[in-house]
Chains A and B, each alone.
Chain A
Amino acid sequence: GAVVSQHPSRVICKSGTSVKIECRSLDFQATTMFWYRQFPKQSLMLMATSNEGSKATYEQGVEKDKFLINHASLTLSTLTVTSAHPEDSSFYICSAPQGSTDTQYFGPGTRLTVL
């Protein structure tokens, strides 16, 4: 199956700083990628759809100025959490569909802890 990677796998930062998370499709191109947030013992919540070459589409209630998404190439999307606060601590996961199929492949996730 297709492989999606995320970097870093774990990050700890101080309150007020910004953190960038990368999502890469390693063996396929993805014009669209998705970013999710998962709180402990809960399901995944879609935050935004990342579109290569255009603006991301954010879900209702997600602050676009706080969660900056850039999809600069067909294999890379980045999520930057700006001015992070402890309530932003969470598990962030990206996914990408391979080709014209509707099957999405998930990255291994990034655990963000804001002190």
Chain B
Amino acid sequence: AQSVTQLDSHVSVSEGTPVLLRCNYSSSYSPSLFWYVQHPNKGLQLLLKYTSAATLVKGINGFEAEFKKSETSFHLTKPSAHMSDAAEYFCVVSRTGTASKLTFGTGTRLQVTL
């Protein structure tokens, strides 16, 4: 069994300031963890993924996330927010090594203000 908890349903930051979107997971298996971004009325785009290699994962558009097994966390960060980062972000867990079902968090809406 596996589950994902996104701790904030809504995060608001000013342009140019850091972004932190929090995610905690639980899994009976060795997990693969993903962050996806969804812009309004669009599909999901993969930002980055962790699959048991380096614990600090770098993704597209300046995002990165750190896998912390002891804290069962996989928080998403970006040093400087851009207006185009405003979107819905989903933390997702699956079982490593299988094309299996994904378990989604409830999503965090990121708002970026001037």
A17 to chain B, nearest CB (A): 23
Count of A interface residues, CB-CB < 8 Å: 25
Q: Does B100 contact A (CB under 8 A)?
A: yes
B contact set with A: CB distance below 8 Å: 32, 34, 36, 41-46, 49, 51, 90, 94-102, 104-107
In terms of DSSP, what is the predominant structure of the interface of chain A?
strand
Known contacts A43-B107, A103-B51; can you find 12 more A-B pairs with CB under 8 A? A1-B46, A32-B99, A44-B104, A46-B101, A46-B102, A97-B99, A102-B99, A103-B34, A103-B49, A108-B42, A109-B42, A109-B43
Q: How far is the CA of A111 from the CA of B97 in the complex (A)?
A: 32
Q: How far is the CA of A109 from the CA of B45 in the complex (A)?
A: 12
Known contacts A1-B46, A102-B98, A104-B99; A109/B41 CB under 8 A: yes
Known contacts A103-B34, A103-B46; A44/B97 CB under 8 A: no
> Nearest chain-A residue to B42 (Cβ)?
A108
A contact set with B: CB distance below 8 Å: 1, 4, 6, 32, 34, 42-44, 46, 49, 91, 93, 95, 97, 100-109, 111
